[in-house]
Every structure is written in structure tokens, then in C-alpha cells.
Amino acid sequence: MAQLEIHIPENWPPDQQEEAGSETLFAWLLRGEDGKLMRGGQGALDAMPPAAQCHIVVPASRVLLSSVQPPSRNRKKFMQALPYAVEDRIMADPESVHVAAGEEHENGEMPLAIVDRAWLRQVLDSLRGCGLKPVRAEVETLLAPCKTGVWSLIWRGNGGFARQGPHSGIPLDGGDADLPPAALQLAVKEAADNQPASIQLYLDGASAPDLGAWSSGLGVPVTAGGDWQWPASAEHGINLLQGEFATGSTRADWLPRLRPALILASLVVSLHVAFTLGDWAMLKFEKHRLTTSMEQSFRKAFPDAKVIVDAPLQMSRNLAELRHSAGMMEQNDFLPLLAQVAPQLGTEARLLGLEYQQGNLKIRLILPNPAAVGSLRASLPQARFTPGNSSPAGQEAELTIGK
């Protein structure tokens, strides 16, 4: 499985992102399945050789290397709050940085790599725009050789970077053939009792400085290490693609594609909720209007009423009382109900009892046989039948008609 490694320039991406792939040349290496170097060169992003995996190398000047002593408890919450754990070292808003953690040392120290979040996001978006999806981002500083008691310095003529230990190093700016960079002088002084036995200098496209003058200025022997080349494998530092930038998270790839659909779905839901609330408000207003109208009609018809609980029901009851007072019969009065049943009984039915109560007429009778009961039931579908006992006199039955 081929692996493509791309070195990100210090001042990339430029302000105009659309020019990033056409104007900037990127150093790259292509490795085979065994990790061995196949070929390398420089080119635009859209002209990179195809590979199954893409790794990037972030310039030393863009990353601050540090370390922290994580607590033994609440480790998960601590990892989520890493930017705040290094707030006193970055002189910036913790929300503006991304912190990646390395493997914890035996002494409990956890190495950290701190990078500007917006810059890293812009780099990854620009690469994805050219069809490149990195799965690993290495810090350039940690690619230099690491030897016990020896600092490795990559010199580019007017700066570079130095690796001080397995997970520590600094970017360098300035300096010349006779005078080492000020940051390197300060780092040697701050090392105090832990100063390196020597500093091995590697040349990256620059002329060698005066090693004697540098040794005198630093107080530490500076030796020549030859020309600087990328290591055989870059997978031994801190991978910056963690957390929100982790390749296992598909948010960075899929969110831009899903955003239009999510916006449309949000608009549809919002409109649906708005129309539903509008319909509910209109229906509530209409109900209130109808209720008020019915109450006004009720009060107009019955001005003596003091309390209105259910205007339609109260209107119906009051009208029934007025009809009764005027001698008018209603459908559920005794005589209208009896008039419905009597013609269907015939001469064979014998009446056992008659009861009228609250709009219901209950009749108990004896019919000659069950067939006569069935015939009567068919002729009075509005009545409710309850079969009774069977005797030599016939078949008892009870029917109820009314409300």
C-alpha cells in the first residue's frame, strides 16, 4: 500500500485559497508497502502521484511542543479540556488552538503538540479540495534524529529547528554563519544542568556555518551531521489528527455535503411548525368566537340564566322544558315511543309490564315462540331486546326504546 508524504510550507495556505494548488510547490515522498522510499520531488497538489494513504508534515514554526502531567482520575474530562491545561503557555484563547497528545512517558508526563485550529482546518480543507485526505499529520520537529544527550539542529541558512529530546524541540529564526540563532542560545542557557553534550547540525539546502564560532557562542560543541533528509518513516511522532480532526470522524467530509439537506430539512420543519401553530391559533380563535356567539344567543333566548357552563346543552334542556310546559311532545316522550312499538306487537303478544323513565320506554311481554321474538326484533331495529325465560306460555322478552 503506497504512502504519499507531503511537506506543508510554513506560509501556506495563502489568503486566496483558490490559488493554493496552482502557485505553491510542495515537497513530497512516495513510499512503498514496506515503507521504503520509492521516489520524491516537488509539485502542485493537483499533480501528486496516486497513493492509498496520504500523510502530511507540518512545519516546526506552526507547532508548539510541550508536556503535561495528567491526573490519575477523570482522565477523559481532562483530555477534553487539554487546551485549557496549556492556557498559560500559549498566550492565546484556548478555543483557538488544537492540542494533540502523544503516548504517556513512564514518569507520567504526556507530550503535547499545540497548533492553531483555524490554520490546521484550512490546510485540511485545501488538501481535500484537491482530492487529498490525510490520515496522519506529523510535526516536522520530531522527524529530526534523536540521540541521548545530543540535540539535532536542521539549518536552513537563516533559521530552521532543533530537536532536544524524544518529544521536545523548538523552531529557530535568524542566525548567520558566525552567530547561532538567539532562540538556540536561550534554550542552551535554560537547559542549565541538562545541557546537551553536543549539537549535531544538518544542512537543509544551506551552506554550513562556522561550527567553531557557533560552539564558542553556545558553549556546547557543534558538529556536522551532513545533509538533512526525511527519515525512512515518519510514523514515530505525535499525530495531530486527533479529536475533531481525527480521520475516524466523518464530520469534516460529510458535513459540508449534508449542510444543504440539513438546512432544507430545518426550513421544512420550521414551516410545518409555523403552519401548525397558525392553524391551532385560528381554530382556537374560531372556537372562542363560536362559543361567544352561542352564549350570546343563549342569553338572548334565556336572559334569566345566571351561569352558562355548556350553552348548547343548556339550550337543549331549556327548549325541552318549554315544549313540555306548552304541552308539546318530543320524540322520546311516552306516547311517541309507545306509538312506535304498539303497531308492531300484534295480537299474539301478551303484555307483562310497562315502565317509562327519563326518555326510555321499557316493555316486558310474552311472545308465542322464539321466532316471534326474532320477527319483532326485525320490525323494531331501533329497540334493544333482552331475551327472558322460556315457559309453556311462550317466550318472555324485554325491549327498550328511547334514548
Structure-block grid coordinates of residue 117 = 485550529
For residue 253, how many other CB atoms are within 10 A of its CB? 12
Residues 6+ apart with CB under 8 A from 310: none
Of the candidates 286, 305, 280, the one whose C-alpha atom is nearest the C-alpha of residue 295 is: 305
Is the CB of residue 320 less than 8 Å from the CB of residue 332? no
pLDDT in tens, the chain (403 residues): 789 999 999 889 876 544 444 578 999 999 888 778 889 999 999 899 999 899 999 999 999 999 998 887 888 888 888 888 888 888 889 999 999 999 888 888 899 999 999 999 999 999 999 999 999 999 999 999 999 999 999 999 999 999 999 999 999 999 999 999 999 999 999 987 788 999 999 999 999 999 999 999 999 999 999 999 877 555 568 999 998 998 764 454 556 667 788 889 999 999 999 999 999 999 999 998 998 888 888 888 888 777 887 888 888 878 777 777 776 777 777 888 888 888 888 777 888 888 888 788 898 888 888 888 888 888 888 888 888 888 888 888 888 988 7
What fold, for 145-227?
Nucleotidyltransferase; domain 5 (3.30.420)
pLDDT of residue 299: 84
Residue 161's DSSP bridge partners are 154, 171
Superfamily of domain 334-402: General secretion pathway protein M, EpsM (3.30.1360.100)
pLDDT of residue 19: 47
Is the CB of residue 60 less than 8 Å from the CB of residue 68? no
Q: Which contacts of 154-159 are long-range, i.e. CB under 8 A and separated by 24 or more positions?
A: 154/202, 154/204, 154/228, 155/201, 155/202, 155/203, 155/204, 155/206, 155/208, 155/209, 156/204, 156/205, 156/206, 157/205, 157/206, 157/207
What fold, for 1-143+232-249?
Nucleotidyltransferase; domain 5 (3.30.420)
pLDDT of residue 133: 92
pLDDT of residue 187: 94
pLDDT of residue 254: 56
Query: Three-state SS for 236?
Result: coil
pTM score, two decimals?
0.59
Is the CB of residue 115 less than 8 Å from the CB of residue 122? no
For the chain, the structural domain boundaries read 1-143+232-249, 145-227, 259-323, 334-402
Q: Do domains 1-143+232-249 and 334-402 have the same CATH topology?
A: no
